[in-house]
């Protein structure tokens, strides 16, 4: 435990415990029992709370007008909203809420605003670092990847949006809009990955890799949800792992910023040069 919260090692231990408990109960109880899902959703809530703690500290550590600081603040908003979403998805609270459609409304509406926060956050972090580094540039292969993601979204909207034929037009609209946000998030994830590759390694590049992994994994899981894979063990394990990917990336970034601060005597909200982390 550091002054800014859990270290990456601590987050890894928590993730292993939560996901391991879900895996064991799922194998023993089977998919028809609610206990594995209760554990999985609770694990996601814990992961996003850890991520929220790290994001708040990171937002304070950067200068007030820094795009990177604003990006982490937006990612904190994603964590805050995602906590409510996973609470609503927990079978225990679903039964307390009662109406299944009400649960869908809560889940889809909170996911929509959370995705907006993710898009703003990843884009701000990418731009804040991109404009400070010398020699990095966009490549055509990045735009090819974005085009592929756009094709996947068009296909998903047309054929594989869950509840799209259920008569719940409002829920279907939220899902379609969320898919549109996911293509943008996946695109920025590709840009973050490209940026980390051009940086040639280093501590900051690793942070970019974790954020890119979170954005791309979250987008990919949503695309494949319509294939009927969401009830499989592998899909559910990946779904519950996504919040921990972000929590680990945020904790690593927070630990890294704190170590730089201690090493150079840097004070919060003063002269912060993000390029110093790239070494």
Report how far residue 228's alpha carbon sits from residue 247's, in angstroms, rounded to the nearest whole number. Answer: 27
Determine the angle formed by the axes of helices 35-61 and 233-264, rounding to 10 degrees. Answer: 20
Does residue 269 lie in a domain region? no
Does residue 270 lie in a domain region? no
User: What residues make up the domain containing 230?
Assistant: 8-264
| Residue that is written with structure tokens 């990843």 in the block | 122
Question: What pLDDT score was predicted for residue 15?
Answer: 94
Question: What pLDDT score was predicted for residue 109?
Answer: 84
Alpha-carbon 109 to chain mean position: 17
Question: What pLDDT score was predicted for residue 91?
Answer: 82
Does residue 254 lie in a domain region? yes
Cβ-contact 52, 58 below 8 angstroms: no
The pTM is what? Answer: 0.80
Does residue 234 lie in a domain region? yes
Does residue 244 lie in a domain region? yes
Residues facing residue 5 across a β-bridge: 2
**What is the per-residue pLDDT across 66-119, written as a single tens digit (0 to 9) for each?**
888 899 999 999 999 999 888 888 888 776 666 566 677 777 788 889 989 999
CATH number (domain holding residue 115): 1.20.1070
Question: What pLDDT score was predicted for residue 4?
Answer: 52
Average pLDDT estimate for 238-242: 93
Evaluate if residue 277 carries a pLDDT over 60.
no
Does residue 15 lie in a domain region? yes
- Residue from 15, 11, 16, 38 nearest 25 by CA: 38
Report how far residue 230's alpha carbon sits from residue 224's, in angstroms, rounded to the nearest whole number. Answer: 8
Cβ-contact 181, 116 below 8 angstroms: yes
Question: What pLDDT score was predicted for residue 178?
Answer: 72
Does residue 3 lie in a domain region? no
Average pLDDT along the chain: 76
Number of domains the chain is built from? 1
Report how far residue 179's alpha carbon sits from residue 44's, in angstroms, rounded to the nearest whole number. Answer: 21
Q: Binning pLDDT at 50, 70 and 90, where does residue 208 land?
A: confident
Q: What percent of the chain has pLDDT over 70?
A: 66
**What is the per-residue pLDDT across 26-68, written as a single tens digit (0 to 9) for each?**
988 877 788 888 999 999 999 999 999 999 888 887 777 788 8
Question: What pLDDT score was predicted for residue 117?
Answer: 93
Question: What pLDDT score was predicted for residue 195?
Answer: 73
Question: What pLDDT score was predicted for residue 213?
Answer: 85
Average pLDDT estimate for 182-197: 76
Question: What pLDDT score was predicted for residue 225?
Answer: 66
Evaluate if residue 166 carries a pLDDT over 50.
no
- Cβ-in-10-Å burial (0-12, 13-18, 19+) of 58 comes to buried
**What is the per-residue pLDDT across 112-159, written as a single tens digit (0 to 9) for each?**
899 899 999 988 988 887 777 655 565 555 566 666 666 666 665 555
Compare 168 and 109 and report the one with higher pLDDT. 109
Does residue 46 lie in a domain region? yes
Question: What pLDDT score was predicted for residue 79?
Answer: 95
Question: What pLDDT score was predicted for residue 245?
Answer: 94
- Lookup: tokens for 81: 């909203």
Compare 7 and 150 and report the one with higher pLDDT. 7
Average pLDDT estimate for 260-274: 49
Cβ-contact 249, 214 below 8 angstroms: yes
């Amino acid at each position: 435990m550091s002054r800014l919260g859990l270290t990456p090692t601590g987050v890894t231990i928590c993730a292993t415990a939560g996901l391991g408990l879900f895996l064991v109960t799922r194998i023993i109880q089977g998919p028809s029992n609610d206990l594995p899902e209760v554990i999985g959703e609770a694990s996601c809530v814990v992961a996003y709370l850890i991520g929220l703690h790290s994001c708040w500290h990171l937002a304070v550590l950067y200068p007030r007008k820094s795009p990177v600081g604003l990006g982490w603040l937006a990612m904190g908003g994603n964590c805050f909203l995602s906590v409510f979403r996973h609470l609503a998805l927990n079978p225990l609270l679903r039964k307390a809420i009662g109406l299944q459609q009400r649960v869908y409304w809560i889940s889809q509406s909170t996911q929509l605003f959370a995705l907006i926060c993710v898009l703003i956050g990843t884009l701000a972090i990418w731009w804040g670092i991109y404009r400070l580094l010398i020699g990095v540039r966009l490549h055509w292969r990045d735009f090819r990847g974005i085009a592929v993601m756009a094709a996947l979204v068009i296909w998903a909207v047309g054929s594989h949006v869950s509840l799209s034929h259920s008569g719940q037009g409002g829920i279907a609209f939220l899902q379609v809009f969320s898919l549109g946000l996911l293509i943008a998030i996946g695109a920025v994830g590709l840009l973050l990955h490209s940026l980390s590759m051009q940086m040639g390694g280093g501590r900051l590049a690793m942070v970019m890799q974790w954020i890119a992994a979170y954005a791309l994994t979250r987008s990919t899981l949503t695309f494949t949800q319509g294939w009927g894979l969401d009830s499989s063990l592998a899909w559910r394990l990946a779904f519950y792992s996504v919040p921990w990917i972000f929590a680990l990336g945020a904790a690593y970034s927070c630990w890294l910023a704190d170590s730089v601060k201690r090493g150079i005597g840097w004070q919060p909200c003063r002269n912060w040069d993000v390029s110093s982390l790239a070494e």
